[in-house]
Structure formats: C-alpha cells, structure tokens
Structure 1
Amino acid sequence: MSSVNFNFSKPVSGTIWTTWVVPDKPWLLLEVRSEARRAVRFYLLDYKTGEWLWQNAPVPEPWWVSVAGVTSTTLVLHRFKGYESPERTALLAIDLAAPAVLWQREASSLVSAAGDALRCSNGLDSTVQIVLDARTGKEIDLEAPNNVGAHKISPLVRPFQYLEGTPYFGTVSEFARTRLQLHPVGAVEYLEHGGLILLTLHVKQEELVSYLVVLTAAGEVLLNEKTNDNLKGIAVDTFFLLEGWLIFVKNGNELLSYKLV
C-alpha cells in the first residue's frame, strides 16, 4: 500500500532563493536571502536524515553573490557589481566541510562544473575559457581527460507544467473540482512516481494560493497541503523528487520533505 510519510520541516530566516543538490552526497545546499537585512546566507542539509550539516553561513560579500554551481566538496559563487551593474565580476569558492573561503578569482565566471573541475571564462573575454581546480582555484590542463571530471545524471526529478487552456489542464482541473473542491487557475504541475500522482494546483481564493496534492492512481488522496499564500504569480518547479524523497518550499521560508513509499 502506498503512503506519504513526513520526513522533516526546516524553517529559515529569509527567503529560500535556490536549492542545489550536492553531487554524490545526500545533501541539499540552500541559498537564503533576506531583503530586509540585505543579507545572503547558505545552509547545508542532509535530506535523508533532515539534519543540518551547517546553517546560516555568511560569506565575505553580504549581498551581491549568488550560487553559480556546486561540486561534491565545494560551493562556487558568482560575485556581482551591484544593482546598477549586475554583471558577474568574480568567482568565490567555499569549502562545504567547513564552511570557509578556499579562494577567489577576479574577472571570471563559471560556465560549467564536472567533478572537481570548473570550466570558467577567463577575464573580460567570455570566449576565452580555462579549467580550474575547484579546491585550489589553480588552472589545470584543459586537454587532460582525468582533470575535466565526468558528468553524471542528476537524481533530481521535477514536475511537468501544463498551462490553462491545454487539454491536460482541463482534466486535472475537473478532478480537483469534483474530488478536492479546488478550482485551479493558470497552470498545474504534474509528476508520476511509483504509482503515485503528484500535483501542484494554483487556486484563486482571496489571494492566489497553491496546494500540493499526492494521490494514488485510484484517486485516493494521501497528501493535500497548502504550500503558499498570497502568491504574486504562477509558480514554477514547485516541488522535486530525490530518490523517493518529496521536497518542496512552503511560503518561501520553510523546506519540507515527505518519503514516498
């Protein structure tokens, strides 16, 4: 019999801006931003146990940084000039074990990451690329196959989105009205997993809100949770799956997880 079992709830102080899966580890990296404090902080979580590995870690630049990429050992950030000039100006590498700054490199930006190799633009000419060691920031041989790492398929699975007016939106909308007494608008998100159906429904009440629903193929509702109040628009990528763990953000500042069995 299918079930949806609560795993964890992790509130944070600020808005969960992005979440990143750390390769080869059961870890999630969270970028959390507070507009009121003009501060960005980073959190590292074991998504299987629900335990923080560390949290509320600051970086030397308090606001004008954002996650560029994550390797199994290193968080890579882009630094920006500022609001008036938002182009990337530097790379900043943080040790995931500490967290502590490993190195900085001016006039560079990340193009891609594979293994412990970072392919980056070099200087102001974006057509010139180099490969850096993620741990040291030093250049390594661009041609050496052992240095460029191997791309791996991410275990993260995201839902499909169907816009209002498409046939599938109509099917889901009818089900939501008759079984859940909800009237979806704008778009729905949909994913099938292990005989379960996962839906995000946007509903116009006093404000635009959203619900996450998990049900069996026979229509039995296993989870029906209101996930956001007072949305400014239709949300995208409202949940994801990692090895059978359902993970989503509630009201912008709380990370929740359920185990799908």
Structure 2
Amino acid sequence: MRLDAAANRLAFEVRDADLLLADFYTLSLCNYKLDKLPLPAAKNWWLGLEDAYEGLLFLHGYGDRQVGQHKGILAYNAATINLQWQQPELAFYGVTIDGVLALNLQGQNLKLLQTKTGTIVSQNVSLDGGATAVASFNTVRSQACTYPMLYLEGEPYYSEVCDFLKHKLKVKPVKGIEYAETEQNIFTGFYTEDAHGNLDNTLCVFNLDGELQLQERIAHGLSGIGSDTFIIFNHKLYFIRQRNILVVYSLT
C-alpha cells in the first residue's frame, strides 16, 4: 500500500504466493472508486509496486530474478489506468522535489527523470546526493500522513511496547511490532504465534490514557511479518484486512 497524498489516492499491490499472481490497484480517496491496472495476469508476478506520486503508480520489473534485482520503470496514470511512460533499462530509486531519480545499473549512478514524461533531464547524479534528495523530499511528502515505525524483536523500543501490550491485553507479541502516535491515539500492530509457528497480525488503537479503543485481527496464518500494514491520513486509519479488504476508520 502506497499513499499519493498529492493526488489524494492510494495504490495497492495484492499478491497470491500460491498462484504466483499479482494485481495492482488505484483508489481515489475522494469517492473510493477502485480501479485495477490492465496488466496481463501471467506476467504480473514479476512486477512490483515502488511508489505513487502526483497521480502516477510506479512499478518495477526484475533484471536478475534470482537475487531480486529491480530493473525497469513502468509509470501508470491512476486516473486513466493507462501506461504513461516507461524506462526499461533503469531502476526506480526515489522521488525528489525535482522529479524521479532512477539508477543506471551499468554505471551505478543516478539519472533525474521528468515525473510526467520519464524524460531524462539530468545525467550522473551522485548516489550520495540522490539519497539526500529522496530522504529530504520524503519528509515533506509524509507530513500529511503518519506511517508506523517497525521495531524488531531485541530492539529497545520493541521491549517497551511489548511490555505495554502484555500488560494491557495479556498477549505475547513476537518478532516485530509496528507503532505510531498521533495527538489523540496510540496505534500498534503486533504478531502472535500459534502452535504451528504461523502468525496472526492484530491492530490495536489506544487513547493517550492507554484505554483500548479498537482491537482487530487483520491477518491470520502468516509465515512472516510485514511493514506499513496501516497508515493514518487526514484523520482516518487505513489498513488491509485478510489481504483483500480495505478498512477505513474515522478518527474524529
């Protein structure tokens, strides 16, 4: 799930590991109209969602499938669900205030692309400069949205949140916990393990006094943990339940 705050849209990648299928969707947050990108199902597994920005969904392909090396950029127009531009020999690196940065896999340097057309407007951007530009612009882009932090088992903050959940819910979280705060609420996404080693993912919302406001199991029988399983945007909580149901709660 990727938020395009500039266009007031969400982008989704939905994967079925058993059937080796993947689908990509764009959702307008103005009227909750959902559209599926018109891609051939047989080839979708070898595509992935990179980002969403200014009404475009950026997908990647793979250069070396064995090591998972990303190669190729496909930019789809969210409003028309048509391919707007592509750069088959470059790899998506990130979005900056000046455009899209793409990695030249041969020279290991960056090129700056015009966002709407994919045209190369600058060559030989340094990796250090590019990383700084992407990180700086991500801070600006994320001001309207709250993403959770992922604390892994063994990290200090993990232990603190784990103790809080044990005390409040009498549960035993494992492996990783997602955590976010707003001015009114605390959000946690945690995993519990069954006798077979499968994981359940539970999302909880507390007020600042530590009182439980919402508890919902959003995934069952997982083999591993995820990240960014929920986001908060414009006073609404967004998450995917059981991999195929978008749930939106108003926080006001």
TM-score bucket (shorter structure):
0.7 to 0.9
Q: CA deviation at 1:242?
A: 1.4
Deviates more, 1:210-219 or 1:228-237: 228-237
Between the aligned residues of both structures, percent identity stands at 25
In the TM superposition, 1:143-222 aligns within 5 A as 151=137, 152-154=140-142, 155-164=144-153, 169=158, 172-206=161-195, 207-222=198-213
Q: Name the aligned partner's letter for residue 192 of structure 2.
A: V
Deviates more, 1:207-216 or 1:168-177: 168-177
Cα deviations by residue, 1:139-198 (Å, 9 ceiling, x for unpaired) = 33569xxxx999333133222344556665555445544543323334433322223222
1:27 aligns with 2:9: yes
- Extract unaligned runs of 5+ from structure 1: 1-18
Of Structure 1 and Structure 2, the greater helix share is in 2
The answer to whether the 8 A contact 1:41-1:57 is kept is: no
- Extract unaligned runs of 5+ from structure 2: 125-132
Of Structure 1 and Structure 2, the greater strand share is in 1
Distance 1:29 1:169, change over 3 A: closer
The answer to whether the 8 A contact 1:228-1:251 is kept is: yes
In the TM superposition, 1:109-128 aligns within 5 A as 109-114=91-96, 117-122=99-104, 124-127=106-109
The answer to whether the 8 A contact 1:90-1:104 is kept is: yes
Q: Distance in 2 between matches of 1:38 and 1:245?
A: 32
Q: Name the aligned partner's letter for residue 183 of structure 2.
A: G
The answer to whether the 8 A contact 2:49-2:58 is kept is: yes
The answer to whether the 8 A contact 1:71-1:114 is kept is: no
Give me the TM-score of the superposition, normalised by structure 2.
Answer: 0.76
In the TM superposition, 1:50-69 aligns within 5 A as 51-55=32-36, 57-58=38-39, 61-69=43-51
The aligned counterpart of 2:114 is: 133
SS at match of 2:93: strand
The aligned counterpart of 2:82 is: 100
Runs (4+) off by over 6 Å? none
The aligned counterpart of 2:218 is: 227
Q: Name the aligned partner's letter for residue 199 of structure 2.
A: L
Cα deviations by residue, 1:15-68 (Å, 9 ceiling, x for unpaired) = xxxx1111412210111223344333211113465x124125326953322223
Q: Distance in 2 between matches of 1:171 and 1:192?
A: 14
Q: Which has the higher contact order (CA 8 A, sep 6+)?
A: 1
Q: CA deviation at 1:120?
A: 2.2
Q: Would you say how many aligned residue pairs link Structure 1 and Structure 2?
A: 237
SS at match of 1:57: coil
The answer to whether the 8 A contact 1:28-1:47 is kept is: yes
Q: Distance in 2 between matches of 1:76 and 1:214?
A: 31
The answer to whether the 8 A contact 1:79-1:89 is kept is: yes
Give me the TM-score of the superposition, normalised by structure 1.
Answer: 0.74
Q: Name the aligned partner's letter for residue 190 of structure 2.
A: L
Q: Distance in 2 between matches of 1:93 and 1:86?
A: 20
1:74 aligns with 2:56: yes
Distance 1:258 1:81, change over 3 A: same
Q: CA deviation at 1:85?
A: 6.4
Q: Distance in 2 between matches of 1:117 and 1:33?
A: 29
Distance 1:26 1:167, change over 3 A: same
When Rg is computed on C-alpha atoms for both structures, the one with the higher figure is 1
